[in-house]
């Protein structure tokens, strides 16, 4: 069996502080896997600049000039983490045998790649990196993170518990993932939908090496809501069930009120009326908001806008450089 060509896909957004620290780590891992006979010497590290406002793209270009293993693409503007990962995967799918997506911050254990590649060589097409424990997290962070995954699962999004975007995907799977044309991207739920043989590899997550996190609680909640509404209609089913339940309760109360009126036992009930109106009004507003999210997503999907636009590639710059030398 020929050694597979691996592309490590690394999304980057304002990572000028941490990139000089983690880039050599990625390169060392590629060299270790190559020397160990697990991957081809033609393997690469693909940095995806997600419209950074700092010197991230300049650093990527400098790395590409120093070592052929480093390559990079630059998006025309910031489009978000999920779009950046997808851009890298789609760029890699026709040029390699396997990809491993990993964040740039150094928190994911890079040594788990060895076991990921081993699982691929044993027949797995997708290998999910899963956190073994969350002992280093605060109670609040651990609670919100675990609630995030449980809520996603409950509401119909097929996600792997404690898995983010650290995963190995074969080129075969990527070819089918490319057929998913939705604009609202949530890869943690989309990849399992493709199918094929999959497994997990557990690892311990470390502290960020430098810089600050780009995923505060606000963005995590937005990601969760986007994932749920992009992959499942269960919230609408839940709204229907709640509406049916309250309609049944309302029917019972209406019968009770009629009976009380016939018996002449009715009394003024200002407090109960206000409570019922407020409760039903709140439920209606929430329901309208959720329905509005689905309608809005449908509106965006019908536009068929591009999910990412590549404005530059490091190897294109190299080609131009060679052509200029030949012409001169």
Residue 230's contacts (CB-CB under 8 Å, 6 or more residues apart) are 182, 184, 185, 186, 189, 297
Residue 322 pLDDT > 60, yes or no?
no
Going by pLDDT thresholds of 50, 70 and 90, the confidence category of residue 124 is very high
Tell me the backbone φ, ψ of residue 256, rounded to 5 degrees.
-65, -40
Q: Which residue has the tokens 């206000």?
A: 274
pLDDT for res 258: 63
pTM (two decimals): 0.71
Q: Is the pLDDT of residue 101 over 70?
A: yes
pLDDT on residue 193: 84
- The CA-to-CA distance between both ends of the chain, in Å, stands at 44
pLDDT digits (tens, 9 = 90+) for 139-156: 666 676 677 777 777 766
CA 268, chain centre distance (Å): 54
Token pair, residue 309, equals 């636009």
Residue 324's pLDDT is what? 43
Q: β-pairing, 163-170 with 126-131?
A: antiparallel
User: Is pLDDT at 274 greater than 60 in this prediction?
Assistant: no
Whether residue 253 is predicted with pLDDT greater than 70 in this model: the reply is: no
What pLDDT, in 10s, does the model give residues 38-96? 999 999 999 999 988 889 999 999 999 999 999 999 998 888 888 899 999 999 988 99
Structure token digits, residue 205: 């997550």
For range 181-188, the mean pLDDT: 79
Which residues on neighbouring strands pair with residue 44, listed in sequence order? Answer: 7
Q: Domains in the chain and their CATH numbers?
A: 6-232+305-327 (3.90.550.10)
Residue 212: both structure tokens together: 């600050």
């Amino acid at each position: 069996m020929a050694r597979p060509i691996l592309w490590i896909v690394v999304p980057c957004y304002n990572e000028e502080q941490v990139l000089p620290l983690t880039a050599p780590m990625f390169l060392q891992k590629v060299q270790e896997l190559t020397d160990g006979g697990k991957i081809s010497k033609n393997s690469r590290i693909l940095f995806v600049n997600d419209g950074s406002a700092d010197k991230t793209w300049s650093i990527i270009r400098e790395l590409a000039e120093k070592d052929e293993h480093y390559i990079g693409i630059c998006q025309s503007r910031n489009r978000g983490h999920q779009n950046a990962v997808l851009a890298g995967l789609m760029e890699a799918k026709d040029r390699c045998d396997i990809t491993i997506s990993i964040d740039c911050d150094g928190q994911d254990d890079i040594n788990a790649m060895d076991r990921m590649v081993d699982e691929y060589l044993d027949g797995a097409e997708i290998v999910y990196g899963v956190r073994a424990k969350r002992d280093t997290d605060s109670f609040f962070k651990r609670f919100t993170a675990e609630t995030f995954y449980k809520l996603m699962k409950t509401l119909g999004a097929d996600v792997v518990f404690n898995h983010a975007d650290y995963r190995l995907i074969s080129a075969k799977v990527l070819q089918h993932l490319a057929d998913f044309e939705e604009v609202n991207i949530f890869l943690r739920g989309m990849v399992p939908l493709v199918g094929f043989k999959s497994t997990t590899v557990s690892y311990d997550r470390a502290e960020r090496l430098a810089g600050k996190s780009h995923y505060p609680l606000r963005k995590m909640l937005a990601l969760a809501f986007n994932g749920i509404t992009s992959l499942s209609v269960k919230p609408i089913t839940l709204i229907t069930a709640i509406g049916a339940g309250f309609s049944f309760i309302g029917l019972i109360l209406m019968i009770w009120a009629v009976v009380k009126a016939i018996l002449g036992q009715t009394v003024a009930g200002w407090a109960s009326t206000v409570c019922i109106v407020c409760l039903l009004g709140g439920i209606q507003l929430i329901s309208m908001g959720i329905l509005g999210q689905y309608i809005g997503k449908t509106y965006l999907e019908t536009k068929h806008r591009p999910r990412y636009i590549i404005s530059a590639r490091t190897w294109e710059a190299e080609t131009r450089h060679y052509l200029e030398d030949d012409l001169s």
